[in-house]
Amino acid sequence: MSDRHIDTAAVHAGRLEIPTNAPSSPPLFQASSYEFADLAEVAAIYGGEANGKIYGRYGGPNGTQLERAIAELEGAEAAVGAAAGMSAIDAALAATLGQGGVIVATAEVYGGTYTLLENDYRKAAFDVHYVDQQDLSAVLASLGRHRPKVLYLEALTNPLMHVADLPALCALGHEAGATVIVDATFATPALVRPIEHGADLVAHSVGKYIGGHGDVGAGILAGKADLVERARAYLVRKGATLPHFEAWLALRGLRTLALRMARHSSNALAVASHLAAEPAVERVHHPSRPDHAQYDLAAKLYPRGTGGIVAFDLAGGEPAVDRFLRDLQTIAIVHSLGEVATTISYPSVSSHRNVPAEMRRALGVSAGTLRISAGIEDPGDITRDLSRAFAGLGERARA
């Protein structure tokens, strides 16, 4: 029986036994701080000679495990987790640019990244230029004219699923002396590994396919060790590091990534074929369909499929979109993607809300463009739900 007062015993009682044999699945280390035996241990852990942890914001064991897993899957020297995909992207830019410089980014950049570039980087006197990443001669010209420190690409673009020719674009970027950063959120390392094609850094919004279940908010950056460590220091300074529970959940999702991506890809193709046969659909955008302008490139770079996103242009603009969305029963309107459930979004009011209307039009995102994120359900149930909504449009036209 302890002679400690209950007030003290309640705080200290019950020593944690860390088992000597490894658990078969990762335990959650939710601790926000760690103890040191003496000053020698403080010095060893801060100095990196001993394998210890210090404080939540500097990273915990679950984050380290996720980082190692992603580095391995991406074929990267190192990886660092972040609080969100946007923090990972911000850290990638900050680590590469330093005090100033020029960014050349794909004109189809994700809406949040566009806002970051415009609101933060341009306002901080960085020079930002956009280029059509499909047009290699335009990219070459832009690189020659602007001599950027960063060439920023997206592996598969949102929402129209244009395919970045990663080997060609990385080579052009490097010849111009730029660091190449690729957002591969839509692709994941299950489908493409940008570092194998020359990228210096790869960023992901982990809450999409890597987490996979719509319950994670996190980001990750993988690539050259020196850049990753600069990004880590930036994230620690900004307090934008990866929370432990998010890392634990993301790793759990990652275990089924390859299986899910195969199913997302086959379901997306089934959805795309179904849409192509609908009279109310003006155009389907999916790179695994032979009518996609980059079908051959997609087949070469993505032999295991191109993932779960399908965009299509619905005739009739916003009124038709509104009616169509209301008639869906299984497919929910969700402003995210990559979940096990099939979801739909209307880019004009979601991802592209802050993109000026004329730029949206130039990108090919019209008032009728919808984006489906095909889940892992039975494909017949997904296409039946779509048929029901198309039938509703037909009834309206007849009324």
Residue 189 interacts with ligand PLP (CB under 6 A): yes or no: no
Catalytic status, residue 57:
yes
The type of residue at 299 is A
Residue 201 interacts with ligand PLP (CB under 6 A): yes or no: no
- The binder of ligand PLP chosen from 70, 73, 80, 86 (CB under 6 A): 86
Min dist CB 39 to ligand PLP, Å, is 39
What H or E segment, with its residue span, contains residue 251? helix 244-254
Sites for ligand PLP among residues 104-163 (CB under 6 A): 110, 112, 158
Residue with tokens 């830019």: 93
Name the phi and psi angles at 33, rounded to 5: -155, 160
Catalytic status, residue 208:
yes
- Which tokens is 260 given? 């899910």
Strands 127-131 and 343-345: unpaired
Torsion of CA 256, 217, 74, 99, to 10 degrees: 180
Nearer to ligand PLP, 189 or 207 (CB): 207
Residue 205 interacts with ligand PLP (CB under 6 A): yes or no: yes
Min dist CB 112 to ligand PLP, Å, is 5
Residue 185 interacts with ligand PLP (CB under 6 A): yes or no: yes
The catalytic position among 90, 110, 230, 232 is 110
Q: Both ends of the chain: CA-CA distance in Å?
A: 83
Question: Could you tell me where the beta strands, DSSP code E, fall in 90-133?
Answer: 102-106, 127-131
Residue with tokens 């210890």: 52
The catalytic position among 114, 130, 149, 208 is 208
Binding flags for ligand PLP, 210-249, as an x/- string (CB under 6 A): ---------x------------------------------
Nearer to ligand PLP, 134 or 205 (CB): 205
Question: Could you tell me where the beta strands, DSSP code E, fall in the chain?
Answer: 78-82, 102-106, 127-131, 150-154, 179-183, 201-205, 219-223, 281-285, 309-314, 332-333, 343-345, 369-373
3-state secondary structure of 180: strand
Residue 253 interacts with ligand PLP (CB under 6 A): yes or no: no
Catalytic status, residue 388:
no
Nearest to 121 by CA among 151, 148, 107, 100: 100
Query: Of 9-17, 182-190, 227-235, 302-310, which part binds ligand PLP (CB under 6 A)?
Result: 182-190
Residue 84 interacts with ligand PLP (CB under 6 A): yes or no: yes
Min dist CB 165 to ligand PLP, Å, is 18
Nearer to ligand PLP, 85 or 212 (CB): 85
Distance CA 277, CA 274 (A): 6
Nearer to ligand PLP, 101 or 219 (CB): 219
The catalytic position among 57, 283, 323, 396 is 57
Nearer to ligand PLP, 110 or 390 (CB): 110
Residue 209 interacts with ligand PLP (CB under 6 A): yes or no: no
Nearer to ligand PLP, 274 or 285 (CB): 285
Catalytic status, residue 34:
no
Nearer to ligand PLP, 316 or 364 (CB): 364
Nearest to 201 by CA among 89, 86, 68: 89
Q: How many residues bind ligand PLP (CB under 6 A)?
A: 12
Nearest to 386 by CA among 398, 399, 397, 372: 372
- The binder of ligand PLP chosen from 148, 173, 207, 211 (CB under 6 A): 207
The catalytic position among 90, 165, 183, 385 is 183
Distance CA 60, CA 32 (A): 8
Distance CA 180, CA 364 (A): 25
- For ligand PLP, the binding residues (CB under 6 A) are 84-86, 110, 112, 158, 183, 185-186, 205, 207, 219
Active site amino acids:
57, 110, 183, 208
